[in-house]
Structure 1
Amino acid sequence: MNLRHQVELLTAGFNSVATCCVITDQDWRIVMNNSSAERLFAQHCGSEQIENLRALIPNETMFKEVYDKISSGKALKFQLLDEQFNPSPIKPAWMANFEPISSESEDKTLVIVTIIDFRTRGEELEQRRRAEAEFRAIFDNAFHFLALLSTEGNIIQANRAALDLLEVPSHTDLSDTKFVDAPFFTKEDAKKIQLAVDTALQKEIFRDVVTVHTLSGKLIYVDSVFCPILDEHGHIEYILAEGIDITERLAAEEEREQLRVQIQHAQKLESLGMLAGGIAHDFNNLLMGILGHADLASLKLPAGSLALNNLKEIESTARIAADLCRQMLAYSGKGKFVVQPIDLNSVISEMEQLLAISTSKNTVLKFQFSEELPLMEGDASQISQIILNLVMNASEAIGTKSGIISITTGAMYCDTNYFRTNQVDFNTEPGTYLYLEIADTGSGMDPETVERIFDPFFSTKFTGRGLGLAAVLGIVKGHSGNIKVYSEPGKGTTFKLLFPISKNHVLESIRDNDIQLEDKWRGEGTILIVDDEETILAIAREMLLLCGFEVISARDGFEAIKLYQQSSTDIDCVLLDLTMPRMGGEATFRELRRLNPQLKIIMSSGYNEQEVTQNFVGKGLTGFIQKPYQLSELKLKLKEILSPLEE
């Protein structure tokens, strides 16, 4: 290194010193000074450049004493009192150090003077003390978790919020505790803490959610940030760990997500319900054609005809389909369940043919009915749905192998202990219950699966066990019943459904004399049929002709109004379809009632009576008949409206 570079380095070091440094001759003329001296000059002399040190220190006595000392080559320190800045004589304002240096090139002595301004340093210390106090106040009173860590990951200090969050007493000393080894983290989260410390040591910010166990064992979730704190030279001095308890926020988000899923599910169910209602309505119109033609065909055959049995089977199957349509309408909100005393054995017997065609060919159905079984209160279509659902599930569980499905009915007494072992708890009262047992020899389920099969969206590896069981559970609960499940992998599954016994011992059905009356009764007059379905028009027309009426037919509301205006005096009653294009049933009804307020109008629809008639309350609707209907039902309805006083 040449001399020039050495001089440059020494000059740079001289100027970078924070202490005021001045080089003078023996007459105190300034030869050289650093930048710290310039700041001191500016502060006390009004200028960064002065020629003589006496301008800064106007103390001739001191200078004479100093001169005498340094002439003998001795260094000297002086503590200078400054009355202007520090009136107390106990504490000096400045301290000056005088040290002679010899010059080889010149025959004179130079003096290097270093000056410390205690007044300025005191202000710096005071500012630092205030800053530390402010930091401590902010640190301790912050509402979120704060911990200062060493570069080794040890806790230096933690604020009050951190102690409260961890449920640590305020007097607890956590200093020198290795953060990663603190008793608040699982092994998995301890690894995450170590990763956070390592990331901060790389001068990077780490952020993640950490699971924390408080001293009482409470589980909380903390959104944590670890960041490095650098000193003035850019070196990592500390690591700051910051965290916010987001347990409640996560719970609220989870609740919102569940609500969103529920709303989405409700919207899907609403859409599905609308679809189901529309399908059920249209399917009822189709069933009207099947049931009506079968009914009319049976009247045209001789009593001993072999075809009568086939027609009866068609009628029975069509009625079961109509019951299922009523179930769909109830599900869609377009109908209501009808709860009445029913014979469980009869419900199952009427379904035998449907159950047979709903199971695979390699499955055998076995029925074991208890004799003199009491009645139960229920909706026959709902019970039919349960039976069909469980039987189809059982058939799918058997799969392609041969198997048996047993359907058994009976009555038994159930006490509290019996219900306590059920998979679901409906708080069912002890007593005598009817039971419906459906057992299969299929694949079966393990206990863990059995515990969850009634969850609405739980699916299993076994076919046939899933969404339908939640509906079964809902129907059983709606009937104040209960359900037990027995299952074992490889051996099969048994569902045992329990229903309360009806207090009514008489079935609500059509009396024999009513059937005889409907066979004998014949009407007279003219009836206007209004329906957009050609098949229904043809069937209803033939039925009315068999009842003794003359018939006029219209395919929509506009045609019906026109025909009524032409033949108003001849028409005794109108059989009006509710859902039609162009002019619907409601609009047609209003116009007909305007033309003749006394006109008898029977509304007909594939929708349920309760759903339809609520729109005509107080408007003079004479009656309602639900599709599909048979000749006997139509006769009873017409007799009720047109001949109410006949015995």
Structure 2
Amino acid sequence: MLRSSTIRGPGGRMQMGREEGGGSSPPSEEDRLAALRRYAVLDTPSEQVFDDLAGLAVRLCGTPIALISFVDEQRQWSKSRVGFEAVETPRQFSFCDRAIRQSDIFVVNDASRDERFAASPLVTGPPGIRFYAAAPLVAPAGEALGTLCIMDRVPRELTPSQAHSLRVLARQVVTQLELRRRSLELAERERLLRTIFDSEPECVKLLDSDGSVRMMNRAGLKMIEADSLEQIAGQRLYPLIAPEQRAAFVALTDRIFHGETGSLEFRITGLKGATRWLETRAAPLRDEAGEVRALLGITREITERKKADAALRESENNFRMLFEQATEGIFVTDPEGRFVDVNPAACTLTGYTREEIAAMTVADLVLPEEVPRVASAIAELSAGHVITGEWRARRKDGCIYIVEVSAKRLADGRLRAFARDITERTQLQAQLLQAQKMESLGRLAGGIAHDFNNLLTVINGTADFAIADLPDAAALRDDLEQIRLAGERAASLTRQLLAMSRQQILKPEVLDLTAVVRRMEGMLRRLIPEHIDLAFSLSDPLGSVNADPSQIEQVVLNLAVNAQDAMPDGGTLTIETRDVDLGVGSAAHPNLAPGRYVLLSVRDTGMGMDEGTRKQIFEPFFTTKEPGKGTGLGLPTVYGIVKQSGGGIWVSSEPGKGSTFTIHLPRVDGVPREAPSAHPAVPVPGTETILLVEDEPALRALTKRILHSAGYQVLEAANGLDALRLAEQHRGTVHLMITDVVMPGMNGRELAERLSRFAPRMRVLFTSGYTDDSILRLGVLDDASRFLNKPYTPSELRRRVRDLLDAPKP
């Protein structure tokens, strides 16, 4: 056990200390430091209660110095000091470091004679300590936190009375430390509770029995527009509540103070005038004896909910009004398809009264052959899918009509459908599809005319030269005249083709798509301007499909024209065919059944489309072309043909990256019938010193011959770049340039503009076999005197050249 005793130590000092005698071990240094941290006393400002105890120690013990000190890992720090300057001293020189190891008073009578302290700076220098006595400050759990010590600059003895005073005062210091710790802990708990209280996003309040406010958090103060709790503490909230709801609030308060719980929705006007709807949930707050001492209320703002409720009621009213006044038929059924409600337009659509329809099902309104599709649609709707479709139905008077339906499942499980009669629209669609076909045929006719015009220029021009070289009585002269006459008639015929389109009856048959595209190659090369490269990637052999050849040709033509329009500055148009097999659950083509298909794709390197445009391209009348340049029916026509052929069509496109249209048609067994091969494609055109630019060799040779025969010097070039090099290398004057308008790489208009920079007085004659609309886009019809349409005769060319050369200089 531990016991106190008086020991005469070195230097004649008296030490009252502890001796080991058994019992439990003292707390470890780690535990002692942890306890010291819990009291949170280090490095805090001085406090009067501790200063008073230090002063009392000086008076009772008659010493000039007294300290209340605490010892941490490195130092002795003084909370209160009397007669001592330093706030802290290193632990290694500290008397208190020794004192905290004792169970009772630790005394050093003369430190200068004590080998443990004689060399300490506190002894050898200021303040020159000689006498030291201290009582340890022992926490309730036994940890020695520090000391209450007295010191003197002269040696002396500690009397028993003084030792007793030190012990009593040390216990008072510990008591004050405990009170201080508990006060700090209580303040921290209160701070945490207040933080939680104020951080609650909903209003939390305590009300007294008369309805006055005892406490309210920040959210509540904000809710009633109070700047502080003091502004409303002790005041009733009743004046803020809407007059018609005050009685209900008072009744709720009474019920709470009678031990009940409750809730209430009410409207308040805040202290600054803002109106809010609130919902409060209240319960009694009881003391330890179970008595109700306050009303605890949690309140949240429900203004937006009230607005939403009002908006919902208004929406329901508006919906009912729209339901009754809608021009489309609206049908509401149960999950089995029995009618629950219909609007007046639905009665008009079907010819039945509302009462008659209420006794019917959806299957009663459609034709018998449509019933399986209707049953399938109801199943899809019940599974949560949104459906759209077209059904053939019969009115009460027996009239058959086509109805377009868009339906979905409502939140309560019922099914709602919007329906409209599209019989007339369906009839118009057939006419519109025909109009689109006419548009494509018109483009085809233009391309054919262009190619024919090149051919006819060569044929007629060569015939003219041959006739001119023969004597009048030559036997071949009549034959050549017939050739020239036929050529003139052919030129007239091409002009008629530009204005002609005819309706045709089309029938599906077994087709080889590669063969179809190859037959169209000549047409396509005539249709697509030469500044666009036309490429083919066609599989051979290829599986067969069952489709109308004319429709498939229209699909290819429409997609090719669409690709051409997407590349006004040129590019590459690629048409591909190949066999594909689609497996179960193909992510790229979810709407196609697994199986064998033939793929047809048309890819361009044009301007591409954004997502908004891509979503609408198959909608009728949607077009990105300027007014008058398209009907918006080309791609919808393609979509309809593909769907009617049992296939699918997809488009992938990004702005600036071109577009690819991919079609899948089911493969079938069977052998396609033989088809005639397409006519070979023929290229396009080209007179002092004349620069002749024409990319078609035969036409270039004929034109050169015509000009030579008239005495002109001719420089000939096959394209724009060759013409530029030739003009730059020529030493003399180029008086006139004859150029084709549409050529690969550089068109005639661009060539003329570039040559005018170093030959500004050079005249230009443009020629083309395209229609006016084709060349109008290149801006060469501003001056009709500078344009010569193909086919032309040698005399027409000579005359136009002469007219241009003889015209007044600009």
Q: TM-score, normalised by structure 2?
A: 0.28
Q: Which has more radius of gyration?
A: 2
